[in-house]
A and B are shown apart, each in its own frame.
Chain A
Amino acid sequence: MKRRYSAFAIAREALRHHSGWTRTWKSPAPKSRYDVVIVGAGGHGLATAFWLGRNHGITNVAVIEKGWLGGGNTGRNTTIIRSNYLQDPSAALYEKSRSLYETLSQDLNYNVMYSPRGVLMLAQTEHEVRGYRRTAEANALQGVETEFVGPRRVKELCPIMNIDGPRYPVLGGLWQPRAGTARHDAVAWGFARACSDMGMDIIEQCEVTGVTREGGRVTAVSTTRGEIGCGKLGIVVAGHSGRLAEMAGFRLPIESVPLQALVSEPIKPCMDIVVMANTVHGYMSQSDKGEMVIGGGTDGYNGYNQRGSFLHIEETVRALVETFPMISRLRMLRQWGGIVDMTGDRSPILSKTPVENCFINCGWGTGGFKATPGSGWAFAELMARGESPLAAPFGLERFREGRFIDESVAAGVAH
């Protein structure tokens, strides 16, 4: 049993040269069988395991990961949290997630640095103005606090912005005051610590190489660390979902593309909100270290290279420089890509599969981080009980039934 993190614990450890801290999560060898095996120790997989234990009392769980914990899209996103979606099922799911973030640090006893600094989505064309006004009305009905604000308020919220840009003037924005950011690594680490504390096994460097089925059910997964039996299997592997689904014997309506981000050198605080500009495919916030964190667009074609096409960086930066002239002299320190799994309607899949005891959580595309706790909450309920009100609209069958949750129009590109 590990010690609680607290101010008192820091003081106590300071008096004994920090010799009493233990590993944040244990690193066991896999057992031969678990009630539930989750593939993928990113935020969503770990959150699923956490709520399986916390809400449903299922703790004989392994979370297996081919690389290191949180090393995929969990550690590659731009950490934005918001729930200003148009469609009711999305708003319900993302708002659940956002509200879980409000108390996540307390629930996990781990500081995830949730910062509800507010997210502003710029309207830079007349179409966007109309679209965001509609979203604000929809959000009012859904119980999500958002507001359409005019250019003057935009300038007050973000003084470094040039709202008179000749090419992309700012005509207003959709403002969600309780949206914001959190520390992405901490979310994964916090969930991992809590899972480990409940007796779950988190097994890194353990790649799934095959899925064993008997009579339409999964019985085990073959991994690089041996065969692991399972009562239920949850696949939560984002960009590699199609590969896992193929091993389990079904197909997914998913295509994988690289999505890029970059950060600048650290500078003094100059921007205390998150700004997203979907017309120009760019979004920006300032990290606590002072770096400007910039997200770009996805490649237009399939890829698994975790790098992305350089022309998107050029497009994003060119447009952002017009809106934020002061960033033109910043040096960019790092650029990277993550492989995002895109569905036809740009909404996620939280679903049963044609394989009876195999469940899939994927398709979060360009916007999964914000959904981490809510996704885990709903997926754990689906895996434990066979149904979940939050997950129900996001089933795989919607593609056959033509019952889409169309956020590709509602959310634009940055998602």
Chain B
Amino acid sequence: MLMLRCPNCGVTADETELAPGGEAHIARAATGSDDAAFEAYMFGRENPKGVHFERWRHAMGCGKWFHAARCTVTMQVFGTYPAQTLSPPDDLLEKIDAARPGWRWRDLGAGHRHTHDHHDEER
């Protein structure tokens, strides 16, 4: 059974205690966006065979949202991190680099490290 550590309360919870929330770090298409942008926001998904970033909620525990990085093939969990961020933390990305050389997810992974999302967060 899949187990994830909730970064909000520190509990390592079974899958039955958690509610999956789909792909992480999806920015809402803003008002005035064209149809293509809204389609991408509503239905465009990464669907990777490998490293994936997701939202989860500790539904039967503290009730709070968080993020997880997981392999969709082996179910290996690389780590969890708080919901209040626009992209995964660098130490987690380094951990995934070590475990899965050459991985890629959107503009993350293999040679694309420092994204503008990080800077947004720092402002």
Which residues of chain A have a CB within 8 Å of any CB of chain B?
Answer: 240, 242-243, 251-256, 300-305, 309-311, 343-344, 399-401
> B44 an interface residue at 8 Å Cβ cutoff?
yes
Apart from A309-B2, A400-B39, what 20 extra A-B contacts exist at CB < 8 Å? A251-B44, A252-B47, A254-B45, A254-B47, A255-B45, A300-B20, A301-B20, A302-B47, A302-B52, A302-B72, A303-B72, A303-B73, A304-B49, A304-B72, A304-B73, A305-B75, A309-B15, A311-B15, A399-B43, A400-B35
**CB proximity of B102 to chain A, nearest CB, Å:** 15
Q: Within 8 Å of chain A (Cβ to Cβ): is B12?
A: no
Instruction: List B1-60 residues whose CB lies under 8 Å from chain A.
Output: 1-2, 15-16, 19-20, 22-23, 35-36, 39, 42-45, 47-49, 52, 54
B1 contacts which of A301, A309, A344 (Cβ < 8 Å)?
A: A309
Can you list 25 A-B contacts (CB < 8 A)?
A242-B47, A251-B44, A253-B39, A253-B43, A253-B45, A255-B47, A302-B47, A302-B48, A302-B52, A302-B54, A303-B72, A303-B73, A303-B75, A304-B49, A304-B72, A304-B73, A305-B73, A309-B1, A309-B15, A311-B1, A344-B42, A399-B39, A400-B35, A400-B36, A400-B39
* B74 within 8 Å of A (CB atoms): yes
Q: Which B residues are in CB contact (< 8 Å) with A254?
A: 45, 47
The size of the chain B interface, using a CB distance under 8 A, is: 24
The residue that B19 contacts in the complex, of A300, A302, A305, A343, with Cβ under 8 A, is A300
B73 to chain A: closest residue by CB: A304
Would you give the shortest CB distance from B64 to chain A, in whole angstroms? 18
* A401, B49: Cα distance in complex, Å: 28
Residues from chain A with a CB closer than 8 A to the CB of B49 are: 240, 243, 256, 304
Tell me, rounded to whole Å, the shortest Cβ–Cβ distance linking B22 to chain A: 8
A315 nearest in chain B by CB position:
B16
Task: Say yes or no: B75 contacts A253, CB within 8 Å.
Answer: no
Min CB distance, B108 to chain A, in Å?
16
Chain B's nearest CB lies how many Å from the CB of A29? 28
Interface contact A301-B44, CB-CB below 8 Å: no
Residue of B nearest to A310 (CB): B1
